Amino acid sequence: MIRKVGSGISVSVLVLTLALTPTVKAQSPMVPALSKEIPPRPVAGTLLTEDYVKNLATLAYVWGWPLVNMHNRRLVFSKVPESGLGDGVLPVAPLNRLTMLTDYIKPAERAVATPNQDTVYGFGIFSLDREPAVFQIPDFGNRYWVYQLGNQRTDAIVGLGSIYGTKPGFYMVVGPDWNGNVPNGITAVFRSPTNLAYIIPRAFMDDTAADRAAVQPLVSQIMAYPLSEFDGTMKTKDWSKIPSLADPAGGKSGSGAETKWVKPEAFFDELPAILKEVPPQPGEEALYAWFQSLLDAGAKNPKIKATMTAAAIAAENGILKELHQYRYAGVPVQNGWTAPVNGANFETDYYSRTAAARANIFVNPRNEAAYFGQEYDADRKRLNGSSTYTVTFPKDGTPPVNGFWSLTLYDADHFFAPNKINRYSVGTKNRDLKLNSDGSLTIYVQNAPPSPDKQTNWLPAPKGDFELFIRAYGPKSEVLNNSWGPPPVVKIK
């Protein structure tokens, strides 16, 4: 029997009607998210063309040159038995320590190209996989100073110095994976993205006996040591009484070019360690996989490995040789000078990182020190000691700085050119520079001495090719925004 509901419609008809009525709103399908997984690496066993191997090997060499450079410096410093002077010149120290000079670095130094003659230097390499390192900062008063704390990529970890208002105290640097306890008495802690870090204290010093004496108590408090030795007391050391050691790099200082920290024939034997010890920056995972695929192919095929090595040697004698010139280590600015703009903050600018490492490794960030390099005169002719030159800063036109400035001369290898008066730079440190009658300042750059009335402003040049380099420590805004620029180098006809 069929029952009826209130309106006279049967229950059966109502159920059938509801069953046949379409759903008013069906559930929408989900929109899939893009995968964030790292893409697969190149397929192993793929046949590689010779040109592909050459080009990828060249790219790997340019990319990895600064990292291998630092890797090999750590290996050398791991053999240093105590703080001392390599060949009586180079400040060297065991890992997780530093060594300070007590005067300007000597001209015979060959471990770091383009050194300055304005500051008292120090240097140390930290191996943070061993343990964190502590370094001391004394009270420098009104003296300009900066500590460069960098990682294996030669990027700055943090800014420390008078321009930052950094306070005296004990500072600590740890590796990427350290998670220990920070002891009481530590002023601040910094984390390095790589287990290899380096520290380079620089303290400005006038070229006077009085300031040489005044800086010594400060220099004696500049120290670094493993965290396990930290006891909360300011340690001191008389750095004038450290021993002379054999050059830990195995080469004689003053032999010409910079110590060969990267040997192209060994590069691809060292690169696997670099890919393991230097974590990729965000986005570099594919680059690492690309390079690793080349290394894997070379490990299995001697012909591929030989092609890779040949490409490294060709790059060393080609691209890297060209990058030794200052004009490739930055951007062109006024009057033919070149200025690096992202020193120690290279990030993914691999070209600039390698150019700086080749021409002037351990550059400071630009807000700490602005650099200007020059290899040509105003007529675009190569600077050479067979000619005489002037560099004239207009009245009130020397580099505007909160620290100091200098004009330094280097030989073609980017080291100091020996001369009879032992003068390698002029600038703020010199108290006897003479101004012209109109208030301008002229520096005489030449091989033979100028007339006696000009000799206080003489910057001696070698007989061959040379370069000029301007430093502006604590640069003011006019330098940073390029509204100030260096004057031309004028050849005297």
Q: What is the pLDDT of residues 265-298, one digit of tens each?
A: 999 999 999 999 999 999 899 999 999 999 999 9
For 409-439, what is each residue's pLDDT tens digit? Answer: 999 999 999 999 999 999 999 999 999 999 9
In a domain, 470, yes or no: yes
CA distance 99 to 241: 11
Contact 277, 71 (CB under 8 A): yes
| Residue 252: per-residue pLDDT | 60
- Indicate the pLDDT class of residue 53, thresholds 50, 70 and 90: very high
Contact yes or no for 325/412 (Cβ under 8 A) = no
Proportion of the chain above pLDDT 70, given as a percent: 94
**Statement to judge: residues 85 and 212 lie in one domain:** yes
* 158-187: average pLDDT: 98
- State how far the Cα of 337 lies from the Cα of 260, in Å rounded to an integer: 27
What is the three-class DSSP state of 37?
coil
The average pLDDT across 258-262 equals 94
Residue 94: give its domain's CATH number.
Answer: 2.60.40.1610
| CA nearest to 199, candidates 135, 129, 260 | 135
Neighbours of 3 (CB within 10 A): 7
Q: Encoding tokens for residue 321?
A: 């040789």
405 close to 381: Cβ distance less than 8 angstroms: no
Q: Give tens-digit pLDDT for 30-44.
A: 999 998 888 888 999
Q: What is the pLDDT of residues 225-246, one digit of tens each?
A: 999 999 999 999 999 999 999 8
DSSP secondary structure of 429-450: T-S-PPPPTTS-EEEEEESS--
Which phi and psi (to 5°) does residue 99 adopt? -130, 135
What is the identity of the amino acid at 338?
T
Residues 86 and 218 in one domain: yes
- Examine the domain organization and report whether 187 and 267 are in the same domain: no
Instruction: Name 442's bridge partners.
Output: 392
State the Cα–Cα distance between residues 64 and 422, nearest whole angstrom: 37
In a domain, 254, yes or no: no
Domain membership of residue 120 (yes or no) is: yes
Residues 273, 382, single domain; the answer is no
Compute the average pLDDT of residues 457-474.
Answer: 98
pLDDT of residue 470: 98
Q: Which of 155, 144, 147 is nearest to 121 (CA)?
A: 147
| Region for residue 336 given its phi and psi (left: phi exceeds 0; alpha: psi -120 to 50; beta: otherwise) | left
Residue 393: which pLDDT band, with cuts at 50, 70 and 90?
very high
Question: Cα dist. 329→92, 163, 384 in Å?
Answer: 27, 25, 21
Phi-psi category of 151—alpha, beta or left, where left has phi over 0 and alpha has psi -120 to 50?
Answer: beta
**In this structure, is residue 251 part of a structural domain?**
no
All residues at 6 or more sequence positions from 68 whose CB lies less than 8 Å from its CB, including other chains: 261, 262, 267, 270, 271, 274
Look at residue 431 and tell me if it is in a domain. yes
Q: Please say which residue of 219, 245, 271 terminates a domain.
A: 245
Angle formed by the axes of helices 50-77 and 267-277, nearest 10°: 70
Are both 337 and 417 inside the same structural domain?
yes
* pLDDT tens-place string over residues 300-335: 999 999 999 999 999 999 999 999 999 999 999 999
- Using CA atoms of 173, 125, 64, 337 in order, give the dihedral in degrees to the nearest 10: 100
In a domain, 45, yes or no: no
- Considering the domain boundaries, does residue 43 fall inside one? no
Do 192 and 120 fall within a single domain?
yes
117: phi then psi, degrees, rounded to nearest 5: -125, 40
Scan for tokens 């034997």, then name that residue. Answer: 269
Domain assignment present for residue 253? The answer is no
- Domain identity same for 119 and 265: no
Over residues 439-453, the mean pLDDT reads 98
Among 210, 245, 280, the domain boundary falls at: 245
At 284, the amino acid letter reads E
pLDDT band at 16 (very low <50, low <70, confident <90, very high): very low
Residue at a domain's end among 305, 322, 339: 322
Question: What confidence tens digit (pLDDT) does each residue in 402-411 have?
Answer: 999 999 999 9
Q: How many domains does the chain have?
A: 3
Average pLDDT of the segment spanning 59-75? 98
**Predicted model pTM:** 0.92
Domain CATH code at residue 478: 2.60.120.600
Query: Is residue 15 predicted with pLDDT exceeding 50?
Result: no
User: In whole angstroms, how far apart are CA 164 and each of 144, 311, 411?
Assistant: 11, 44, 34
Q: What is the mean pLDDT of the chain?
A: 94
Same-domain pairing of 309 and 411: no
Report the C-alpha gap between 91 and 77 in whole angstroms. Answer: 11
Q: How far is CA 364 from the centre of its chain?
A: 7
456: Cβ contacts below 8 Å, ≥ 6 apart? 430, 432, 433, 434
**Phi, then psi, of 211 in degrees rounded to 5:** -75, -30
Distance CA 180, CA 176 (A): 12
Shared domain for 277 and 413, answered yes or no, is: no
Q: Are residues 338 and 270 in the same domain?
A: no
Helix, strand, coil % (nearest 5) of the chain? 25, 25, 50
Q: Is 66 exposed, middle or buried (0-12, 13-18, 19+ CB in 10 A)?
A: buried
Show the domain range for 381.
326-491
Within this chain, do residues 370 and 481 fall inside the same structural domain, yes or no?
A: yes
Assess whether 203 and 283 both reside in one domain. Answer: no
**Closest among 488, 484, 470 to 370, alpha carbons compared:** 470
Indicate if the pLDDT at residue 370 is higher than 70.
yes
